[in-house]
Amino acid sequence: MFDYVGFFASEIEDLQRRGGYRTFVEVERLAGSFPAALRHGPGPGRRISVWCSNDYLGMGQHPLVLAAMKRAVDESGAGSGGSRNISGNHRHHVELEHELAELHGMESALVFPSGYAANDAALTVLAGRLPGCVVFSDELNHASMIAGIRHSGAEKQIFRHNDPDHLEELLAGTDPKLPKIIALESVYSMESDVAPLHRIAELAREYGAFTYLDEVHAVGMYGPQGAGKAAELGLEGRFDVVQGTLAKAFGAAGGYVAGPAAVVDAIRSFASAFIFTTSLPPTVAAGAVTAVRHLRRSDAERRTLSEKSRLLHGLLRDYGIPVVSDAAHIVPVLVGDSVRCREVAGELLERHGCYVQPINAPSVPVGTERLRVTPTPQHGDDEIVAFAAALHGIWERTGLPRRPVAEPVA
């Protein structure tokens, strides 16, 4: 008889040998004290500082968001009670979709339980129902986009990351009569770089391509009212569908797409991942719509985050600590080895009380392992200085490679 359990045990052993095995740190967020948290494990919880949260602006701890969620749970209970089609279509979902459509200047929006589900569902429908569709996908697109394209069954052509010349070469070599979708992200979180959105919008117009823009790491963070990178660059309306998340800058959970009413309605009507799943709890939707409304009115959080990110980028540059890119708010510190990446993260946590999750393959290519650091508006300048100094000390002690130092550190 086949040893099923033994097979999977050997798979895990092999993953551990290759340095790709993932371990979780048990963290308890402390309401009102972000980025402070308790790390649980043997013995009493230890207070730590979180440096890798996707709650980029700290909205998951914002008093207005918490108050809205408390009201919603008192009014409506814990869960939604069903799918959107069967008893789970709550007024908070409808309000949230209206708010998101307005944020992006689109006719309609649709909310999903996660950003992954939104990408998978939307691309499955869009690419799968267009006859003979060819999808042009950036090579570093998120796994959820890759899954949606694969599930669609459409032909896929991969263009080199942020390389519009290669994209144009592929577009020019495709039958002009076929439907085409260009799928890309605006901000790539593992690289902290930004797509050449102007050029890609021009190529889409020139070659008659439909555009699908993932703004997960940009909504709430950039542009007027937090509408994203495309809006910041004056390209609002140049991308046909915008996909975003409620789990990062907005501090809640869930994902969404926004676009023309007929396109969004097609996703709503044909996407199995939307039809056959329980909708977001009303309390989560209520918190999300409160966060979206707040960030449409307030630039304070975005301004402060930009200042904190520039401070950390500058300190690491002065120390010669390699960072993949400084084009966005994320600070991807390059280590380049899976074992050493885990060791650096471990020393930061155990010795300095700073929690950063090591990012290893397959999230990033082998040899580019990194720490994906996310300073927030709630990190004090003194904390940022201390964090950079801690990294400098680890680099000094372990002999990790540096980049040339721009100028002496004071």
- How do residues 258-304 score in pLDDT, each as one tens digit? 999 999 999 999 999 999 999 999 999 999 999 999 999 999 999 99
* 70, 156, 180, 248: the active-site residue: 248
DSSP 8-state secondary structure symbol assigned to residue 327: S
CA separation for the pair 141, 127 (Å, rounded): 16
Residue 232 has pLDDT above 90, yes or no: yes
CB burial of residue 328 (10 Å; 0-12, 13-18, 19+)? buried
Amino acid 409: pLDDT: 36
Instruction: Report the pLDDT averaged over residues 331-335.
Output: 96
Looking at residue 393, what is its pLDDT? 97
What pLDDT digit, counting tens, does each position of 59-85 carry?
999 999 999 999 999 999 999 999 999
Contacts of 197 (CB under 8 A, 6+ apart): 186, 213, 229, 230, 233, 235, 238, 239
pLDDT, mean of residues 151-178: 98
The tokens describing 55, both together, are 């709650």
Q: Is the pTM of this model over 0.85?
A: yes
Residues 24, 357 contacting (CB under 8 angstroms): no
CA 239 to chain CA centroid, Å, is 19
Residue type at 260 in one-letter notation: P
Residue 251, both tokens: 């501090």
Active site residue 177: no
Tens-digit pLDDT profile for residues 353-398 = 999 999 988 889 989 999 999 999 999 999 999 999 999 999 999 9
Distance CA 291, CA 247 (A): 11
Q: What are phi and psi of 225, to 5 degrees?
A: 65, 15
Backbone dihedral angles phi then psi of residue 324, each to the nearest 5 degrees: -60, -45
